[in-house]
Each structure stands twice: as structure tokens, then as C-alpha cells.
């Protein structure tokens, strides 16, 4: 599922995240795409947005690391990332 910057900003505002930097918003948007993907978790978008916010609060690089470890687990050449 592709989520626009605008949709990510609206969801962030809905859950109380109003002062995100451009980089933080992009990480939030990527997290929304990961969590809302068919292989991801299910739930309504506000629930997914809260989960993403919790993951990024715990580790701001959560979704970058997830990409790395997913590639590692599937034997993708990490040099190409």
C-alpha cells in the first residue's frame, strides 16, 4: 500500500503527532506502509499509526533496521541496499 506524505501527516495529526520534522514524517510514512502492507499487521489506520509511533519512539531507525534484517533473512545482497 502506498501512503502519501499528506495522508501520513493527517494520520500523525489524528494521533497527536503535530510537530514532526520532514525526516520524522518520512519515517512515519514508511512505517505506515510497512505495517499496512498485506504481509503486515491488520487493524484500522489509527491503530496502525499508533503502533508505528510506538515503534519509532522506541527506536527512530526501526523501519530502516527492519529493511536491513528482512534483506539479511532473505539472502539479499546487503551491499545493494
Q: How many domains does the chain divide into? A: 1
| Nine-digit cell string for 54 | 510506538
How confident is residue 67, by pLDDT bands cut at 50, 70 and 90? confident
Q: In the block, which residue shows the cell 499496512?
A: 36
Compute how many other C-beta atoms are within 10 angstroms of the C-beta atom of residue 36.
19
State pLDDT tens for residues 7-50.
999 999 999 999 999 999 999 999 999 888 776 566 789 999 99
**Domain of 40?**
5-80
Q: In the block, which residue shows the cell 499508533?
A: 50
- pLDDT at residue 78 is higher than 60: no
- pTM of the full structure: 0.79
Amino acid at each position: 500500500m502506498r501512503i502519501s506524505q499528506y495522508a501520513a501527516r493527517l494520520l500523525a495529526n489524528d494521533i497527536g503527532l503535530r510537530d514532526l520534522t520532514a525526516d520524522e514524517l518520512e519515517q512515519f510514512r514508511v512505517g505506515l506502509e510497512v505495517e499496512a502492507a498485506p504481509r503486515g499487521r491488520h487493524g484500522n489506520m489509527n491503530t496502525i499509526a499508533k503502533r508505528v509511533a510506538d515503534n519509532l519512539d522506541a527506536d527512530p531507525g526501526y523501519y530502516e533496521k527492519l529493511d536491513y534484517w528482512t534483506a539479511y533473512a532473505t539472502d539479499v545482497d546487503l551491499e545493494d541496499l
